[in-house]
Amino acid sequence: MATLQANEQVVYQRPRALTEVNTHYCPGCTHGVAHRLVAEVLDEMGLQDRTVGVACVGCSVFAYNYFDIDWVQAPHGRAPAVATGVKRSLPHDSIVFTYQGDGDLASIGTAEIIHAAARGENITVIYINNANYGMTGGQMAPTTLPGQKTTSSQTGRDVELQGYPIRAAELLANLDGASYVVRRSLHDPKNIRMAKKAIQTAFETQVRGLGFSLVELLSICPTNWGMTPVESLGWLNDHMIPYYPIGDFKVISALQKETCASKAEG
Amino acid sequence: MPVKGRIVVDDVFCKGCELCASVCPQKVIQMAPERITAKGYHPAELFKDGCTGCAVCAVICPEAAITVYREAPRARVAAEA
C-alpha cells in the first residue's frame, strides 16, 4: 500500500464495506462494479453495521465473501422471499437487500420477485442483467436478446420458438406495491455514476420505509459473450440499451418531492 | 498548470481487464508488459506523466483495485498545515 504524501489527498479508495478478498469474477466483469457501488453507498449512508444481504444463485452467489456485512444465501430465485422474512422479523433494525442476476430474478424467481413487489415489501433489489446465464456457461436466459447467439441458441434466439426477452423493470413498475423501479447501465463512467445515484435512492427508499425498490443494472459477460471486456462495453451500448432502455419506470411521489427538494437545496 | 495526480494499483486485485486504460482521458494507463500478478495477469500501471487524479479509472474498475491521489490545492495545504 502506498502512503499518502504531504501535499496529497485521497480522491478514491477501496470502500470499507468490501472485504479484502479477490473476487472469482472473470476480468472485466461488471459484477465487480455493481459490488463496488453497493459498498460505496453502504459506506456513505453508514448502513454497513445493520445491512443484511441476500445472495442469489449464479455467479454472484459468492457475494457473501466479498462484502463485510451479514448475508443469507437463498435457494435459486427465492432471495426476495428470504429477504421478506429477514425484513419482517427485524423491520426497524435491518436494511435488507437482495443481489440477483437475470437467471435468478427473471427466470426461476419470477414469482417471488413479482409477489414481493406486489406486497410492497420494504426491501431493495439489485438486479444484474447480462443477457445470459453466466455461471453455467452462457446459455440463453429470459433476457437474451432476439437473435443473440448463446451456447443454447447457437443460431441466435428465435422469438417464434423461444419467445421474447423479459423487461423485468417495466414489468415490476406496473405493480402498485413497487415504489422505486429504475434501470441503469454499467458500460461507461457516466452511467456508472448514474447507477450509483439510483442505488443510493433505492436504499433511501428502504431507510424511509417507503417500500419496494429495484435497480436493474445492465452488465457485461465478456467470457460468455466471447469478447474482450472493452468490446463487451460497446456491445452492451449498441445492442442491449436499445432493447432495455435506461430510465425511471416508477418513482413514487414521496421520492420525487425529495429529489426536487434536494435539488433546490443543492 | 494542470492538476497532478497518481494512481496506485493493488496487484492483489487487478486482473488486467484494461477497462481503466480504455476510459483514461489522459491515456496514461497501460497493462505492465513485463510484470505479472500472482494470478497471472498483467496489472495496470501508470506509464507516463499526465495523470490528473480524475478517478475515472477508479469509477470503472470492477475490482476496486485503484487508489487515486491528487495534489491538494495550495490553499488547502496551507490551511491544513
Tens digits of per-residue pLDDT, A137-190? 999 999 999 999 999 999 999 999 999 999 999 999 999 999 999 999 999 999
Q: What is the pLDDT of residue A6?
A: 72
Residues of chain B neighbouring A41 (CB-CB closer than 8 A): none
CA distance B26 to A142: 40
- A90 compared with B77, residue with greater pLDDT: A90
Q: Average pLDDT, whole number, for chain A?
A: 93
Mean of pLDDT values over A120-142: 95
Residues A97 and A126 sit within 8 Å (Cβ to Cβ)? yes
CA distance A164 to A144: 8
CA distance A99 to A35: 9
From the CA atom positions of chain A, what is the Rg in Å? Answer: 18
Mean of pLDDT values over A78-101: 96
Q: What is the pLDDT of residue A190?
A: 96
* pLDDT tens digits for range A210-248: 999 999 999 999 999 999 999 999 999 999 999 999 999
User: Which among B41, B55, B71 has the least Cβ separation from residue A8?
Assistant: B71
- Give the residue on B whose Cα is nearest the Cα of A33: B62
Task: List A185's β-bridge partners, or say none.
Answer: A218
Q: Pull the grid cell for residue A50.
A: 445493520
Cβ separation A192–B59 shorter than 8 A: yes
Residues A164 and A251 sit within 8 Å (Cβ to Cβ)? no
Q: What is the pLDDT of residue B74?
A: 64
Q: What is the pLDDT of residue A2?
A: 58
Q: What is the pLDDT of residue A266?
A: 44
Q: What is the pLDDT of residue A65?
A: 95
Task: List B28's β-bridge partners, or say none.
Answer: none
Percent of residues, chain A, with pLDDT higher than 90: 92
- pLDDT band (50, 70, 90) for residue A7: confident
- Give the residue on A whose Cα is nearest the Cα of B10: A1
Task: Please name the residue that has the C-alpha cell 405493480.
Answer: A175
The hierarchical CATH code for the domain A31-265 is 3.40.50.970
Residues of chain B neighbouring A228 (CB-CB closer than 8 A): 18
Cβ separation A189–B67 shorter than 8 A: no
Q: What is the pLDDT of residue A105?
A: 95
- pLDDT band (50, 70, 90) for residue A4: confident
User: Which among A2, A13, A30 has the least Cβ separation from residue B62?
Assistant: A30
* pLDDT tens digits for range A40-61: 999 999 999 999 999 999 999 9
- A11 compared with A261, residue with greater pLDDT: A11
Cβ separation B67–A8 shorter than 8 A: no
* pLDDT tens digits for range A107-118: 999 999 999 999
CA distance A96 to A88: 10
Largest CA distance in chain B: 45
User: Which among A11, A33, A192 has the least Cβ separation from residue B53?
Assistant: A11
- Give the residue on A whose Cα is nearest the Cα of B4: A8
The sign of the dihedral angle between the CA atoms of B58, A32, A102, A149 is positive
Q: What is the pLDDT of residue A8?
A: 87
Of the listed ranges A143-147, A255-259, B36-40, B46-50, the one predicted with least confidence: A255-259
Is the ipTM of this structure higher than 0.90? no
Mean of pLDDT values over A124-148: 95
Query: Which residues of B lie inside 8 Å of A (Cβ-Cβ)?
Result: 5, 8, 10, 12-13, 15-19, 22-23, 39, 41, 53, 55-56, 58-72, 76-77
Cβ separation B68–A29 shorter than 8 A: no
In a 13 Å sphere around the CA of A81, the CA atoms on its Cβ side amount to 12
Is A263 a residue whose pLDDT tops 80?
no
Residues of chain A neighbouring B66 (CB-CB closer than 8 A): 12
Domains of chain B in sequence order: 5-80 (3.30.70.20)
Cβ separation A33–B13 shorter than 8 A: no
